[in-house]
Structure 1
Amino acid sequence: MAGTYHATITYQELAEKIQESTGIRTRVILPNWIGATLDKVAYESHQSGDPQLTALVVHGDDGKVGKGYKRVLEVTGEPPVDDDRDLNWHAARARLECYRRFGATLPPDGGTPALSPKHQAAIDRRNVRSKRPLR
């Protein structure tokens, strides 16, 4: 995912890839183990000086990062962000760093941070509805 500009992966897709690549299967429900796994990724990314790969992981239903993404801010020593919008823009900037570091083909301007396509589509739909004239 980090090698494809504006790509993301859902928590479910990541869980399947982890289980497939390790050969370890679990019947434990996803929310009970994926957070701890992503915490380790956040810590390792920070320790190695890599961008936060956890920013690439979003919910399948709305395209937003999970509440656990706040852990990235703790790990990196950044101030906490409580606003959902700000948290998702933080992740968008981190994703752009991932794309740059891991060889995604970027536009000539170097690329721009972007919300996940699903999240942006929901915002666009809300904006269109709010601009419709009232009857």
Structure 2
Amino acid sequence: MVRRLVPLAKVRVGPAPADESRPYDPTMPGTWREPHRDVKIPFEQALEEWSEVSVPILVEVAGTYGGYITYSELASRLNRATGIHTGQLLSNWSGKLLNRVIHLCRENGLPARSALVVHASDGTVGKGFDEVFRASNRNVPHTEIERERAAAAERLECYRVYCSTIPADAEPQLTRQYEARVNPRKKDTSRTNKVCPLHGIQLPATGFCDDCT
């Protein structure tokens, strides 16, 4: 008896094909308002509410001379104030939020409060700050230091509007982290140790050369 071999069915390797009949969900990867995490809200709604709440937060920051806030700190305060959270990475939506703040400030004739928001790692406002120049039809800075100096000048204008204790001779200041990177402090070499003129060795605390005694 001869058995006929039946070819095996081909097995698909890898992810299953996308279901084109499945409706597109604009709220993905997940934006919600606590405590209803399973109820998604449109991300545009989140941006709208965050931009409104960010105004008083940044005004508060500008109320302290030399003050600024990090992106992550701002995000945490927005989450607490609105209850809205998102599964998106902060780097994917913070620029969209601050762009709204930039245009809101410009429409009201106010300095760009986005200059008060910096990266925790290096104290810079980052390339997203270039929107300030585009919104006012100015040339975008060519270098990082030019951008950060412009942001420092914008922060000073914020302090002048919202801070009541700003010094009369106040000048634009880079953030502490960025200042330390671009202008590192040099070691004080003004105080030199005495050296024995005969043997050329450093004198001990007694002031007398051990080889001479």
TM-score by length of 2: 0.57
Q: Could you tell me which amino acid in structure 2 is paired with residue 128 of structure 1?
A: K
Q: Which residue of 2 aligns with 1:117?
A: 176
Structure 2 residue runs of 5 or longer lacking an equivalent are 1-60, 190-213
Q: How many residues align?
A: 129
1:25 to 85, 95, 104: 85
Give structure 1 stretches of 5+ with no counterpart: none
Please state whether the residue corresponding to 1:42 is helix, strand or coil. Answer: helix
Kindly provide the CA deviation profile for residues 72-114 of structure 1, in whole angstroms up to 9, marking residues without a partner as x. 11012211112100000000000000000012411132x1100
Q: Aligned residue for 1:95? A: 155
- Could you list the per-position Cα deviations for residues 29-56 of structure 1 after superposition, in whole angstroms to 9, with x for gaps in the alignment? 1011110000000000000001100001
- The structure, 1 or 2, with the larger RCO (C-alpha pairs under 8 Å, 6+ apart) is 1
Mapped pair 1:9 → 2:69: yes
Q: Cα RMSD over matched residues? A: 1.6
* Partner SS for 2:157: helix
**If each structure's strand is expressed as a fraction of its own residues, which one has the higher value?**
2
Hey, what does 2:123 align to over in structure 1? 63
Asked if structure 2 preserves the Cα contact closer than 8 Å seen for 1:2 and 1:104, the reply is: no
- Distance, in Å, in 1 between the alignment partners of 2:161 and 2:127 is 25
Q: 1:128 aligns with which of 162, 171, 186?
A: 186
Moved more, 71-80 or 92-101: 71-80
Q: Secondary structure at the match of 2:167?
A: coil
C-alpha distance in 2 between matches for 1:104 and 1:61: 29
Inter-partner Cα distance in structure 1 for 2:115 and 2:136: 13
Q: State which drifts further: 32-41 or 99-108.
A: 99-108
